Every structure is written in structure tokens, then in C-alpha cells.
Amino acid sequence: MASATPRPVRDAIQVTVNGQARSLRTPPARPLLDVLRDDLELTGTKEGCSVGVCGACSILVDGRLMSACLVPVGMVAGREVTTVEGLAGPDGELSRVQRAFLECSGFQCGICTPGQVVAATALLAENPSPTADEVREYMTGNLCRCTGYYSIVRAVLSAAGTSATGDAAKEPA
């Protein structure tokens, strides 16, 4: 009996995730969000809307803020992906943004918090001293059902070393 033709071996996708080289054998069109959560067990990245609207799945790709639900995993081949788990130092020391969210109670239920923290990290890398309005503007893609955003803005300003008083004290209109 003729043997069945072997199926071609799919090339693995090489990517660095939180500083670690990973080799992923998976269809390149799969959402990166699924690969992070289901294959790599990095469940800090949350799934909300699945269509790029809520920001719960925010990650950094080569330092740029992206929604992991919209990124096919093949698109990150050769790139560096950072999830919320990768923001802390190697000894587990929280980043200044993570600390500020804790200190300012920038969360309630917490489901949006990893995305908020990742987005705030990207913001401060681009603009180390944002105003409260700039924080609100940058983070419009990160929805929160709980906090009213005041404590989130306060946390980002605190991480920036900016006073959390003044215009930050105003609730958004």
C-alpha cells in the first residue's frame, strides 16, 4: 500500500515575547491574543470586544501600542512583543506605571487594567510628561466600565511624576 504523502511542516514563527525567544508552530492568521493566552499562558492580556475597540488586549510590538486581537501572529515574526507580564523587572519589581496604578487605585474590577497599564507605558515612552488631557486623549482606546477614569488618569500622571492635582482633578466631561 502506498504511504500517505506527508503534510508539509509549517515553518515556525520566531518571535521574542517579554524578552524570551519563542518558536510558534501555528497558523499565521491566528490572532496573537489567542496565541498569547492559550499557547503561551500569558493570560494577563485580556479579551474584551475581540474587534479592536476596548483596549483590554493592549500589547506592545517593538514598543508600539497594538491590540492583540487584531494582530495575526504571523505579523509579529521577528519582532519583540511585550505583554503586561513583561513590564515588571526580572526580579519581579513592578514598573513605575504598575506601582502608580496600585498607589492611586487606578482599577476596580481589574479587567481593563492590564491594557490600561500597557497603554500608559506606551504613552509615557512617547511623551514622558503628558497633561491630563493628553492622557485622556491617548487612552481613549482603553475602555473602563468601573472607574470613571479619574483614578486612571491620576495614576498615569503619578507615574510621570506629574502632580495629580490641577486639571487631573477634573472628571472628564
Burial of 89 (0-12, 13-18, 19+ CB in 10 A): exposed
Question: Does the footprint of ligand FES cover residue 102 (CB under 6 A)?
Answer: no
> Which of 63, 110, 128, 161 forms a contact with ligand FES (CB under 6 A)?
110
> In whole angstroms, how close is the CB of 1 to ligand FES at the nearest point?
49
Compute CA distances 102 → 11, 12, 155, whole Å.
42, 38, 8
> In whole angstroms, how close is the CB of 139 to ligand FES at the nearest point?
11
Question: Does the footprint of ligand FES cover residue 69 (CB under 6 A)?
Answer: yes
Residue 54 vs 132, nearer CB to ligand FES? 54
Residue 52 vs 74, nearer CB to ligand FES? 52
What is the size of the binding site for ligand FES (CB under 6 A)? 23
Which residues contact ligand FES by CB under 6 A? 47-50, 52-57, 67, 69, 107-113, 144-147
